[in-house]
Chain A
């Protein structure tokens, strides 16, 4: 394949490196340094897609982020990615891309029938056309619309790419490496400021790459290269290409997405695909330039109609002619610059200028080159379906209302320039209230809101000399404030051609009898007529017009369409543009990879994993783990072919008959120290704490201020002013914050310190009738008899040379102890327990057996303390002191909390003693009652009682106190089960609690 539209002696591409690529199955060639768009254009390919609604043929309109048309499906390294802008995608060897939103092919697209049905698809067509009859929406309209929706196809495969995050701080963050970005970066860098300069394109320099200017006796491009080369050598400067600053957030936090690997055939090993930078900047310089806006005319979406600046960029950066018979349609001098470039490369353009008699140095140059210029002329309509073949042109009256006689001239592209729109997105995102600048018919930033300043074209300054002057000054002054250096920079001499005033003209009127579509938003197919309909139907706010017509809501987010839309609304409404206002600019400026936003927090990395010191032992002994918050805990230890049910039953049974050991390291532990520690506990817990002796533990319940149980646990008095508090695994962090809140803010007079010691102690619960025998062997020098270490007692012991804490506390309801050692000795402790416990038939048990044991004992846990229950509900009212005040006590007086039929914990047994009751089942009186069947309560936890060998559940039941012995139904619509049940005491096993004291 030849690159028929590639010309010699122009462009910044590397002609030594030829690359092959495929588009819609056909192989083409391009060069290193091309974009997919430039390479296709070099091969004369103009038809790349179909529009969203009417499926009209679409080509290339721009050369960068503003591109509304050229959205393709990309294939790279065995993966596919939808909605890639061909104008942004750099070419690499083997690239493959396909058109989107067309079927069966871009050349013959069935959806194009919508083009002929377009009378039925006006603005708001989702809201109106398909609403009636109502039933048609689900059955006919929506399935049809949905099938037609969307652009590219999402891969359903796991994303194999890796994305990184980076946090950075700098003195000056500069967005955009055009003349203002380079000048301000250079000045600031010379003052020693820490500078980050970001450029979204692969090449630095912005407009200097394409404009015909001279800075300090060099071409603009050479000057830019020199500056960048020098900046790169400076240690205080980071320059980043392929990096888009897309969001300006609170407190000068900006976020930048760096494309690290998209321009390569594969991502290099250990490299991310993209890198997201969170940058906190002291000062932000926005030098994001401007985007050319189109002039609206008939069929202005035909492939071959494009921005004149894009045509110039394809020519000067990529050495590509977008046509051999160009028509340039302009209302300002920029169109002439494009025409001059064509002429210099041997192509004869025709220039149509809407202005009557403009004069400037640029126009003089065009005239001197012999370019055919027609003043007071406009393009009325483009002709051609899949490519521009000719243009209907006409003269236009001075008031821009009357068209002259329509002539047709042959052309193969129409390069259009409707003047420039400053890129104010970042400034606006910072909170800056923008203002309308009459001279340029566009909005520019107003008063700075955060520490941001906007320079150059982004600020509506379109002369290079002024841009460089203000930018050098801004860079120098802002950096001086920070570094206190003041290095003189001499501003280089600038040679540029002066331009004249643009024409306030943006839309060509329709000729009589013609009904051409005149598009504003090219991807979403929003035409002038759609805006007119929206306004006729009463939409006034620009935000409403936007949503109703979808103007500016496509993947280019209206970069080329918004201002023309505003002009139209203000014209119809007979208002000035600033009175209409613009829609809110919100991040992101350009679409950002969701993978990049998420970064490394995917899969197993999405949250940290916490493991106990005994984790490797559990692994070696066939533990099956369960996530308990961020902790991994053994759920059961698998023997042979056992399943969860069999293993947990075996483990629980062994606790009830012999002795078991459970890793309880994950329990929250808080050291409470200080002379007022007892007073703090007394205020935090519902029960009394002032008289707890040293060496004793006590069970406590703490409430939130609204009277709801927050957490429970045992706290042990280690010494006079030192307590060891335990919390549930889930609430550990919240309880610590809770204590700190009261100590620091509410009762600062209490002399207490709290600190988390969860990770400092490894814990093993030893439970079962033989636990004392085992303990005696583990601590031969300690008196662990019932008298020496009674229930809720505490002592320190020597575990084969390791200092240990021994608590006689029980969650399982059996005679039980908890041994803590410093974390580093956790594994040692565990192995000793297993080794010494062998003769007592010890078995480790996991969380499943632990749950079984506590459920059948009626001990509450997280499923009952679910943030909605008070002490009474959990049969813990005996722990609520009547004498003293404590957190949340006042709330307990509320009528619902003291109601006679208040909900309360009960036990539930299925009548058939066979069917396990799903957790979450509702308890109802009558299983046949009509819906909504009144719910009396819910099953909070279920187990298979190893004591009685039948299912047993706990439930929170309305009037539970008086329901013992009642027969109800447990209903689980989710599992499609209705189970007749009997209500029993929640203390199913050992109701008097004799075992723990034995």
Chain B
């Protein structure tokens, strides 16, 4: 079971979190014209990376904050975690 460092609460087991998928997906701005391709990329198309993957988790049974987790999808190793509004360098 993964052990995730919630930036707000500290190390917590995975069963306190729910998964939110690829964090690199950016929602197009409201009221902006977007092409079909851009929209499909946002809604459906995923990079599905093997290796380092920036992804979203929500600490639903804790602080309820959405966080970003940098994790290796091949080994499950977690490198870093970020608050929702933190820039990932």
Contact = CB atoms under 8 A, between A and B. Distances in A.
Interface string B62-89: 0011100000000110100000110000
Contacts of B9: none
Contacts of A740: 58, 64-66
A141 interface: no
B18 A705 contact: no
Interface of chain B: mostly helix, strand, loop or mixed: loop
Interface residues of B, number: 26
A741 B3 contact: no
B49 interface: no
Residue of A705, A745, A746, A748 with most chain B CB atoms under a 10 A cut-off: A745
A502 interface: no
Nearest to B29: A885
B66 A885 contact: no
B3 A737 contact: no
A790 interface: no
Nearest to B34: A890
A250 B76 contact: yes
A642 interface: no
Contacts of A891: 39, 43
Interface in A701-754: 705-706, 733, 737, 740-741, 744-746, 748
Interface string B6-22: 00000001000010100
A741 B39 contact: no
A253 interface: yes
Q: Which of A249, A251, A740, A886 has the most CB of B within 10 A?
A: A251
Interface in A679-714: 683, 705-706
A936 to B, nearest CB: 28
A278 B43 contact: no
B30 A885 contact: yes
Contacts of B85: 744, 748
B65 A253 contact: no
A173 to B, nearest CB: 14
Nearest to B78: A251
Contacts of B75: 431
Contact of A745 (B13, B43, B44, B84): B84
B12 to A, nearest CB: 10
Contacts of A886: 30
Contact of A253 (B1, B20, B64, B66): B1
B76 A251 contact: yes
B1 A890 contact: no
A896 to B, nearest CB: 13
Nearest to A891: B43
A252 interface: yes
Contacts of A669: none
A665 to B, nearest CB: 22
A249 B1 contact: yes
A737 B20 CA distance: 10
The interface size bin for chain A is 20 to 34
A633 interface: no
B66 A741 contact: yes
A506 B3 CA distance: 44
A674 to B, nearest CB: 16
Nearest to A706: B43
A683 B65 CA distance: 20
A649 interface: no
A280 interface: yes
Contacts of B56: 745
A890 B35 CA distance: 10
Contacts of A431: 75
A280 B10 CA distance: 15
Interface in B18-56: 18, 20, 27-28, 30-31, 34, 39, 42-44, 56
Contacts, number: 54
A476 B1 CA distance: 28
Given A705-B43, A706-B43, A745-B84, A251 B66 contact: no
B34 A280 contact: no
A683 B44 CA distance: 21
Contacts of A249: 1
A737 B2 contact: no
Nearest to B31: A885
Contact of B3 (A280, A683, A706, A884): A280
A356 B84 CA distance: 71
A251 B1 contact: yes
A959 B39 CA distance: 27
A380 B27 CA distance: 73
Contacts of B64: 740
A705 B40 CA distance: 10
A890 B78 CA distance: 35
Nearest to A707: B43
A408 B60 CA distance: 72
A189 B43 CA distance: 54
Contacts of A748: 84-85
Contact of A251 (B2, B30, B34): B2
B78 A737 contact: no
A752 to B, nearest CB: 14
Given A706-B43, A737-B18, A737-B60, A744 B84 contact: yes
A891 B41 CA distance: 12
A671 to B, nearest CB: 14
A253 B27 contact: no
Nearest to B65: A744
Contact of B66 (A278, A280, A744): A744
A278 B43 CA distance: 37
Contacts of B13: 253, 280
Interface string A273-287: 000001010000000
A741 B1 contact: no
A234 to B, nearest CB: 26
B30 A250 contact: no
Contacts of B43: 705-706, 891
A253 B3 contact: yes
Nearest to A450: B77
A432 to B, nearest CB: 12
Contacts of A737: 18, 58, 60
Contacts of B31: 884-885
Contacts of B39: 890-891
Interface in A849-900: 884-886, 890-891
A884 B31 CA distance: 7
Nearest to B44: A706
Contacts of B78: 251
A505 B75 CA distance: 37
A278 B1 CA distance: 9
A739 B66 CA distance: 11
A127 to B, nearest CB: 32
A886 B84 CA distance: 22
Contacts of A280: 3, 13
B42 A745 contact: no
B11 to A, nearest CB: 9
Nearest to B3: A251
> Which of A431, A740, A886: most chain B Cβ within 10 A?
A740
Nearest to A734: B18
A740 B67 CA distance: 11
8 contacts: A250-B1, A280-B13, A706-B44, A733-B60, A740-B66, A744-B84, A745-B66, A891-B39
Given A706-B44, A744-B84, A890-B28, 20 more contacts: A250-B1, A250-B2, A251-B1, A251-B2, A251-B3, A251-B78, A278-B1, A280-B3, A705-B43, A706-B43, A737-B58, A740-B65, A740-B66, A741-B20, A744-B65, A745-B56, A748-B85, A890-B34, A891-B39, A891-B43
Interface of B: 1-3, 13, 18, 20, 27-28, 30-31, 34, 39, 42-44, 56, 58, 60, 64-66, 75-76, 78, 84-85
Interface of A: 249-253, 278, 280, 431, 683, 705-706, 733, 737, 740-741, 744-746, 748, 884-886, 890-891
By Cβ-Cβ distance, the 9 closest A-B pairs, closest first, are A251-B3, A885-B30, A744-B84, A744-B66, A885-B31, A250-B76, A253-B1, A746-B27, A890-B39
